[in-house]
Chains A and B, each alone.
Chain A
Amino acid sequence: QSALTQPASVSGSPGQSITISCTGTSSDIGSYNLVSWYQHHPGRAPKLMIYEAIQRPSGVSHRFSGSKSGNTASLTISGLQAEDEADYYCCSYAGSSNPWVFGGGTKLTVL
């Protein structure tokens, strides 16, 4: 069982927007703005899409944005494209004793 809870799947049509939630606790997401999001296409290495909850690394499309409220972080993808179809994982800092915890992953299907 993963430490962070994500929906198993989401879907949307090209051009639409979708949001993937990531729910943790007051010991991880709720205490730190250190949430990151990763896109994973099978057969490739994961790719960092968002860090520190809202920051977008250089080279990542502006269609990807992150937010956080309380114990829940969210990843929003606007203007869905076929290439966005992938698995998405959230990750949060959870303190020095067990620093990094991931969500179980969300499969995004572009209809």
Chain B
Amino acid sequence: QVQLVQSGAEVKKPGASVKVSCKAPGYTFSSYDINWVRLATGQGLEWMGWMNPNGDNPGSAQRFQGRVTLTRDTSISTAYMELSSLRSEDTALYYCVLGTVPHAFDIWGQGTMVTVSS
């Protein structure tokens, strides 16, 4: 089964950008959608965006449009989520997630903690 390994925790200042990586050893992201979901302390899960197996036309939730960039490098089996113009409310645990069952998120990375603080 595919496993997702994410990059380590980040601390950023307001206004900066963060780029989180999600590596899937042996998998080229060619079969399933890759999604990004975050969990802020005291808040619920929040879907941020996705990329289909073709890697074209990635989509994002309306509230993140213009701030989130989803990319991937199939040669190194890695997907990326970059979030710009960070603010304190973006402090959260960020997950990459594969959907191998229809219309759901079933294979999760371990999460990457992003802290935004001046």
Residues on A with C-beta less than 8 A from B104 are 36, 48, 51-52, 57, 91
Q: Are the CB atoms of B103 and A102 closer together than 8 Å?
A: no
Q: Are the CB atoms of A99 and B101 closer together than 8 Å?
A: no
0/1 per residue, B31-59, Cβ < 8 Å to A? 00001010100011111001000000001
Q: Are the CB atoms of B105 and A36 closer together than 8 Å?
A: yes
* Chain A residues touching B, majority SS: strand
Nearest B-chain residue to A105, judged by Cβ = B44
Interface size class of A (residues with CB under 8 A): 20 to 34
Cβ-based interface call for B62 (8 A): yes
On A, residues with C-beta under 8 Å from B are 2, 34, 36, 38, 40, 45-48, 51-52, 55, 57, 89, 91, 93, 97-105
Q: Given contact pairs A45-B108, A51-B104, enumerate 14 new A-B contacts (beta carbons under 8 Å).
A: A36-B105, A38-B45, A38-B105, A40-B45, A47-B108, A48-B104, A51-B102, A89-B45, A91-B45, A93-B103, A99-B50, A100-B35, A100-B50, A100-B61
